[in-house]
Chain A
Amino acid sequence: MTKLVWITTIAILFLVFVAPALFALPIDMLPANDQPGYSVNEKVSIYGKRMISQKFTSQADNLSAIGISLGNPNLKNKKPIILSLYEENNSFVRTSVLNGQNLEDGDFVKFVFSPISDSNGKKYTFTIVTPEAGAEEVIYVYHTKTIPDWMEWAKYTDVIELEVEGGLPFVTFHKPKSKLDVVKKVYSRFLLGGFQKP
Chain B
Amino acid sequence: MKKLLILAIILRLLLAVFYFHPDIKTYNFQASFLKKGVFNIYSYLIDNKKTLTLKEEFVYSPLTYFVLGGYQAIVSPILGNRFDTWLANAESNSVVRDQNVFKYLLILKFPYLILDVAIAFLVMQFFDDKKNKEKAFTLWLFNPFTPILIYVFSNVDIFAVALTLAAFLFVKKQKLFVASLLIGLASGFKLYPLLFVPFLFTAGRTLKEKIFLGLTPIAVFGLITLPFFSPAFVQSALVSGLSTRVFNPSFNIGLNGTIIVSLLAISVLFFYGAFINKGQSLLNLWVGVFLLIFSFAYFHVAWLLWLAPFVVILIVKRPALSWLFLILTILAFAIPVLYEDRFMTVGLLRVYSTLYDQLPTPFSLLENFYDPYNLQGILHSILAGGSIVLLYKLLNKENT
Please list the residues of chain A having a beta carbon within 8 angstroms of any beta carbon in chain B.
1, 4-5, 7-9, 11-13, 15-16, 19-20, 23-24, 26-27, 29-31, 34, 37, 182, 185-187, 189, 195, 197-198
User: Which residues of B from 229 to 271 have beta carbons under 8 Å from A?
Assistant: none
Give CA–CA (A26, B346) in the complex, Å. 12
Q: Are A9's CB and B142's CB within 8 A?
A: yes
Closest to B365 in A: A26
Distance to closest chain A CB from B65 (angstroms): 30
CB neighbours (8 Å) of B174 from chain A are none
A187–B355 CB distance below 8 A: no
Bound: A34/B97 CA distance, A: 12
Smallest beta-carbon distance A196→chain B, Å = 9
Chain A residues with Cβ below 8 Å from B15 are 12, 15-16
Residues of B with C-beta under 8 A to A5: 4, 7, 138, 142
Contact B142 A8 (CB under 8 A): yes
B: contact size bracket: 20 to 34
Tell me, yes or no, whether B352 is within 8 Å of chain A by CB: yes
Query: How long is the Cα–Cα vector from A11 to B96 in the complex, in angstroms?
Result: 24
Would you list 5 pairs from A and B whose C-beta atoms are within 8 A, ordered by A residue?
A8-B147, A19-B349, A31-B355, A34-B354, A198-B96
CB contact between B138 and one of A4, A11, A23, A29 (< 8 Å): that residue: A4
Given A16-B15, A23-B346, A29-B358, also A8-B352 (CB < 8 A):
no
**Main SS class of interface, A:** helix
Q: Are B14 and A12 in contact (CB under 8 A)?
A: yes
A23 and B359 contacting across the interface, CB-CB below 8 Å? yes
CA distance A182 to B352 in the complex (A): 12
Known: A1-B142, A4-B143. 18 other contacts (CB 8 A): A1-B139, A5-B142, A9-B7, A9-B11, A12-B11, A15-B148, A15-B152, A16-B18, A19-B349, A20-B352, A20-B353, A23-B346, A23-B349, A31-B358, A186-B352, A197-B97, A198-B354, A198-B355
Q: Does B91 contact A (CB under 8 A)?
A: yes
Cβ B97 vs Cβ A30 within 8 A: no
A54 to chain B minimum Cβ distance, whole angstroms, is 21
Q: State whether A189 touches B352 (Cβ < 8 A).
A: yes
Does B85 have its Cβ within 8 Å of any Cβ on chain A? no
The 5 A-B residue pairs whose C-beta atoms are closest, nearest first, are: A198-B353, A8-B142, A12-B11, A11-B144, A186-B353
- Distance (Å) between the CB of B18 and the closest chain A CB? 5
Encode contact with A along B8-22: 1 for CB under 8 Å, 0 otherwise: 000100110011000
Docked-complex contact B7 and A27, CB < 8 angstroms? no
> Are B349 and A20 in contact, CB atoms less than 8 angstroms apart?
yes
Closest residue on chain B to residue A4 by CB atoms:
B142
Alpha-carbon distance between A7 and B147 when the two chains are bound, in angstroms: 13
Q: How far is the CB of B94 from chain A (nearest CB, A)?
A: 9
Residues on B with beta carbons closer than 8 Å to the beta carbon of A19: 349
B337 to chain A, nearest CB (A): 14
Q: Chain A residues with Cβ under 8 A from B143's Cβ? A: 4, 8
A116 to chain B, nearest CB (A): 19
Bound-state Cα–Cα, A24 to B350, Å: 11
